[in-house]
């Protein structure tokens, strides 16, 4: 087999592959065996018909076409490995010469990873948030714990903000009652504004046994978006009573004997969380700064694939939440054009970050062993709420082991960048970067966020930028 590689652009190449016909013997053997099982030729059992009769029965041209379709993917992958081409995605294949008994020649155009070196990642100056915890933050955490031990007590007075009420709801449009739009025995906290627009205002001042009617737009169901008259009836009004913040509360809500010990523990836990957030910020911001300093061309098809993946992910999330894209954009005060621009920027950053991490891993010879892959699978399984065995089986069956490997190696590249950075907090104190295992993962951003952490962006693009030589090309003559 003879191969030639022509660089069409910094991110796209054209392979020209020429193969003598005798090197297609294996492909013809597979083709004849397959066709022999499909055709029925008098005098021969299924699968036993000789090649010359199959040629006559189905036509020599059909046999050659079938053999070429079988051979091209293998020949392409062999050429990619031989020429050390880091292919991205599926190639565009065209048969340029096909002479029976003589030669097969075809071309394959494919996007490739840009060639570059990662430099300047040592000594990156990065600033992260302070880890100091304020008294107000401790108060908030203790307050949240206090809320969990609150009790509800009946109140013989009109309802007001903060009260918990038991209510019935019914709706009518143009005076006609909607049997499908009613509910009873609903528990609701006034002031949360988590149900119907105008409900909180209608409940203010109502006592048990009283009703009020207000106009609002219905949400969800057959009448979604339609203006309706909703009647709310209050059955009971209850007041939330919080326990006193004293030693007795500390003993009830924790393993500590005094409220001061409880507050000290809360402060220590918050400080630990803030330190972990600092480490996560250091890794994200160091990578972001490095990526911004690198100027490389990006394959348009790879970026577009990432854009499409993010769009589909968002649409799936919205569908599961019962929201429309229009409502989502309205909540963000964003136009369709602004959304698409943000989506493209996020996808571009993700693809670029992935390339930078991959190249750094190559330069520093970073790799992942079985124990690290196992740890990754276990952590991901916990986040997804499935068993490690289930996730491992899914990765194998969907041919995603390479993606998992890539994410582990990229994590190591992230650790390397952070370890070489000069990190200080906003007060000027030096922050010592640690490894990913010591830093708690950052919360994932919505799929459409363009300004997401660079590490997350790189991880999300792992599948896209690792869709290399495993793709099976389709031949076009």
Q: Which is nearest to 342 in space by CA: 451, 439, 268, 265? A: 451
Span 469-477, average pLDDT: 50
437 pLDDT band, cuts 50/70/90, is very low
Residue with the larger pLDDT of the pair 53 and 339: 339
User: What's the CA gap between 365 and 353, in Å, rounded?
Assistant: 18
324 pLDDT band, cuts 50/70/90, is confident
Partners of residue 55 on adjacent β-strands? none
- The size of the chain, in residues, is 477
Query: 2-112 falls under which CATH superfamily?
Result: Trigger factor ribosome-binding domain (3.30.70.1050)
User: What's the CA gap between 417 and 411, in Å, rounded?
Assistant: 10
- Phi, then psi, of 400 in degrees rounded to 5: -110, 10
Residue with the larger pLDDT of the pair 300 and 441: 300
**What pLDDT shows up at residue 55?**
73
Q: Decide: helix, strand or coil at residue 182.
A: strand
Residues 230-248 have pLDDT tens digits of: 999 999 999 989 999 999 9
Asked if pLDDT for residue 471 goes beyond 60, the answer is no
Whether 207 contacts 222, CB under 8 Å? no
**What pLDDT shows up at residue 474?**
52
**What pLDDT shows up at residue 45?**
63
Q: Which is nearest to 326 in space by CA: 226, 225, 196, 227? A: 225
Whether 169 contacts 182, CB under 8 Å? yes
User: What's the CA gap between 96 and 173, in Å, rounded?
Assistant: 69
Whether 351 contacts 465, CB under 8 Å? yes
Alpha carbon 253 to its chain centroid, in Å, reads 37
**Most distant CA pair in the chain, distance:** 98
Asked if pLDDT for residue 455 goes beyond 50, the answer is no
**What pLDDT shows up at residue 176?**
87
User: What's the CA gap between 444 and 439, in Å, rounded?
Assistant: 15
Residues whose CB is less than 8 angstroms from the CB of residue 393 and which lie 6 or more positions away in sequence, other chains included: none
Q: Which is nearest to 163 in space by CA: 232, 234, 233, 239? A: 239
Whether 245 contacts 146, CB under 8 Å? yes
Asked if pLDDT for residue 60 goes beyond 90, the answer is no
Whether 177 contacts 193, CB under 8 Å? no
Whether 105 contacts 95, CB under 8 Å? yes
- Phi, then psi, of 324 in degrees rounded to 5: -100, 160
Report which DSSP code applies to 193.
-
Q: Which is nearest to 230 in space by CA: 306, 177, 170? A: 170
Beta-carbon count within 10 A of 83 CB? 14
Least confident of 27-31, 149-153, 426-430, 465-469: 465-469
**What pLDDT shows up at residue 420?**
93
Q: What is the mean pLDDT of the chain?
A: 86
C-alpha dihedral sign at 312, 316, 321, 324: positive
Whether 233 contacts 200, CB under 8 Å? no
Fold classification of 125-130+260-465 is: Trigger factor, domain 2 (1.10.3120)
Asked if pLDDT for residue 382 goes beyond 70, the answer is yes
**Would you list the domain boundaries of the chain?**
2-112, 125-130+260-465, 151-241
DSSP character string of 395-444? HHHTT-HHHHHHHHHHHHHHHHHHHHSEEEETTS-B-----GGGSPPPPP
Residues whose CB is less than 8 angstroms from the CB of residue 345 and which lie 6 or more positions away in sequence, other chains included: 450
**What pLDDT shows up at residue 36?**
74
Specify the CATH number for 151-241; select among 3.10.50.40, 3.20.20.70, 3.30.420.40, 3.40.30.10.
3.10.50.40
Beta-carbon count within 10 A of 342 CB? 17
**What pLDDT shows up at residue 469?**
42
pTM comes to 0.69
Distances from the Cα of 236 to the Cαs of 59, 209, 227, 246, in angstroms?
A: 85, 8, 28, 31
Residue with the larger pLDDT of the pair 35 and 10: 10
Residues 361-380 have pLDDT tens digits of: 999 999 999 999 999 999 99
Q: Decide: helix, strand or coil at residue 83.
A: coil
Report which DSSP code applies to 192.
-
Partners of residue 95 on adjacent β-strands? 106
Span 257-285, average pLDDT: 94
Asked if pLDDT for residue 456 goes beyond 60, the answer is no
Whether 378 contacts 388, CB under 8 Å? yes
Q: Which is nearest to 291 in space by CA: 112, 85, 456, 87? A: 456
**What pLDDT shows up at residue 30?**
87
Distances from the Cα of 318 to the Cαs of 308, 322, 325, in angstroms?
A: 15, 6, 7
Q: Decide: helix, strand or coil at residue 95.
A: strand
**What pLDDT shows up at residue 32?**
79
Report which DSSP code applies to 22.
G
Residues whose CB is less than 8 angstroms from the CB of residue 319 and which lie 6 or more positions away in sequence, other chains included: none
User: What's the CA gap between 280 and 452, in Å, rounded?
Assistant: 13
pLDDT above 90: percentage of residues in the chain: 64
C-alpha dihedral sign at 464, 376, 440, 416: negative
**What pLDDT shows up at residue 451?**
33
Span 86-107, average pLDDT: 91
Asked if pLDDT for residue 359 goes beyond 60, the answer is yes
């Amino acid at each position: 087999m003879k191969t030639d590689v022509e660089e069409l652009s910094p991110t796209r190449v054209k392979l020209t592959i020429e193969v003598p016909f005798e090197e297609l013997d294996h492909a013809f053997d597979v083709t004849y065996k397959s066709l022999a099982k499909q055709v029925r030729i008098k005098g021969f059992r299924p699968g036993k018909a000789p090649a010359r009769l199959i040629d006559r029965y189905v036509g020599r041209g059909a046999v050659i076409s079938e053999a070429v379709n079988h051979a091209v993917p293998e020949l392409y992958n062999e050429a990619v490995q031989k020429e050390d081409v880091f292919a991205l995605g599926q190639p565009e294949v065209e048969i340029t010469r096909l002479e029976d008994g003589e030669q097969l020649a075809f071309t394959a155009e494919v996007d490739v990873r840009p060639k570059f070196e990662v430099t300047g990642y040592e000594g990156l100056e990065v600033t992260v948030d302070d880890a100091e915890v304020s008294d107000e933050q401790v108060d908030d955490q203790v307050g949240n714990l206090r809320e969990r031990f609150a009790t509800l007590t009946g109140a013989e007075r009109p309802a007001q903000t903060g009260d918990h009420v038991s209510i019935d709801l019914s709706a009518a449009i143009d005076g006609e009652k909607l049997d499908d739009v009613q509910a009873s025995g609903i528990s609701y906290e006034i002031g949360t504004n988590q149900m119907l627009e105008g409900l909180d205002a209608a409940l203010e001042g109502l006592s048990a046994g009283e009703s009020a009617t207000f106009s609002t737009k219905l949400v969800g169901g057959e009448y979604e978006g339609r203006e309706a008259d909703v009647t709310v009836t209050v059955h009971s009004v209850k007041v939330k009573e919080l326990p006193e913040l004293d030693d007795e509360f500390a003993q009830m809500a924790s393993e500590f004997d005094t409220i001061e010990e409880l507050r000290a523990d809360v402060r220590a836990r918050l400080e630990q969380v803030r330190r972990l957030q600092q480490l996560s910020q250091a890794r994200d911001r160091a990578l972001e700064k490095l990526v911004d300093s690198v100027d490389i061309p990006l394959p348009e098809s790879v970026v577009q694939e990432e854009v499409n993946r993010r769009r589909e992910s968002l649409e799936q999330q919205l569908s599961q939440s019962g929201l429309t894209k229009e409502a989502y954009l309205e909540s963000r005060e964003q136009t369709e054009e602004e959304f698409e621009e943000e989506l493209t920027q996020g996808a571009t950053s993700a693809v670029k970050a992935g390339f930078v991490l991959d190249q750094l891993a190559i330069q520093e010879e970073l790799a992942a062993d079985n124990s690290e892959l196992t740890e990754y699978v276990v952590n991901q399984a916990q986040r997804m709420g499935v068993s490690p065995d289930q996730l491992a089986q899914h990765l194998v069956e969907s041919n995603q082991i390479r993606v998992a490997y890539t994410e582990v190696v990229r994590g190591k590249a992230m650790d390397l960048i952070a370890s070489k950075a000069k990190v200080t907090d906003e007060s000027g104190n030096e922050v010592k970067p640690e490894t990913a295992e010591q830093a708690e993962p950052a919360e994932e951003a919505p799929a459409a966020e363009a300004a997401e952490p660079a590490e997350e962006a790189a991880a999300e693009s792992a599948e896209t930028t690792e869709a290399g030589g495993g793709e099976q090309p389709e031949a076009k003559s």
